[in-house]
A = this chain, B = another copy of it.
Amino acid sequence: MTARERRLREQANRHQLILATAREMAEEEGWDNVTTRRLADRIEYSQPVLYQHFKNKDAIVHAVATEGLVELASVLRAARPESGGPREALQAVARAYTAFAARWPALYQAMLVLDTGEERGDEREPQPLLDVMAEIQEVVGPLAEGRDPRVLAEVVWSAWHGLVTLTGGARLTEAGTDERLLLLTDALAHPAPQPA
């Protein structure tokens, strides 16, 4: 039985190697240049091996995206300060969100631009994505003040996502991100105007 286990372990390792390599290549040269041939070359296997692990190329992107969502959820969790006001907490998480997207643009793209989840219509939203949304809702909750925390979280998330994608597409300058986040945070925390 130990032989069988070794095989399984090796397969699992290769599975992860494919994902890590795909992510690396995407960050280096963009997803367009991650072809099945070049990816297979880089892991030093032949092209069809990829299809033993994943149904198709989209499935690889999807798997990378899922790992990214898990990572993002934990980053957001870690960014929430233990003390301080709710507005500062929101601003801190906002910075963490945009910083994550700026640090790993290809990963972010896989998560929320390429892997739109349209085709998997009947499936529920994947758990890692729900975790990210829950984390956002957690940090905006204290600022709701009568507003629906869920809707508030959706709006916050949308604004962050819009900032990130428009900045990534060079429609907004990277330099202005912080100023925009400050304005956004202040606006959404409006029920408690700045103590002068």
Chain A residues within 8 Å of B, Cβ to Cβ: 112-113, 116-118, 121, 125, 129, 147-148, 151-152, 154-155, 157-163, 165-166, 168-172, 176, 179-180, 183-184, 187-188, 190, 193
Contact = CB atoms under 8 A, between A and B. Distances in A.
Contacts of A155: 159, 163, 180, 183-184, 187
Contact of A118 (B148, B162, B169, B193): B169
A108 to B, nearest CB: 12
Contacts of A152: 183
B165 A151 contact: no
Given A113-B169, A155-B184, 6 more contacts: A113-B113, A116-B169, A117-B171, A147-B183, A152-B183, A158-B162
Copies of this chain, complex-wide, total 2
A172 B154 contact: yes
Given A171-B129, A187-B187, A190-B190, A180 B166 contact: no
Given A155-B180, A162-B165, A163-B158, A170 B112 contact: no
Contacts of A118: 169-170
Contacts of A125: 171
B151 A183 contact: yes
Contacts of A162: 157-163, 165
Contacts of A163: 155, 158, 162
A148 B186 CA distance: 13
B166 A158 contact: yes
A135 to B, nearest CB: 15
B180 A154 contact: yes
B151 A179 contact: yes
5 contacts: A116-B170, A152-B183, A159-B184, A162-B162, A165-B165
Nearest to A167: B158
The residue in A129, A147, A154, A168 that gathers the most chain B C-beta atoms within 10 A of its C-beta is A154
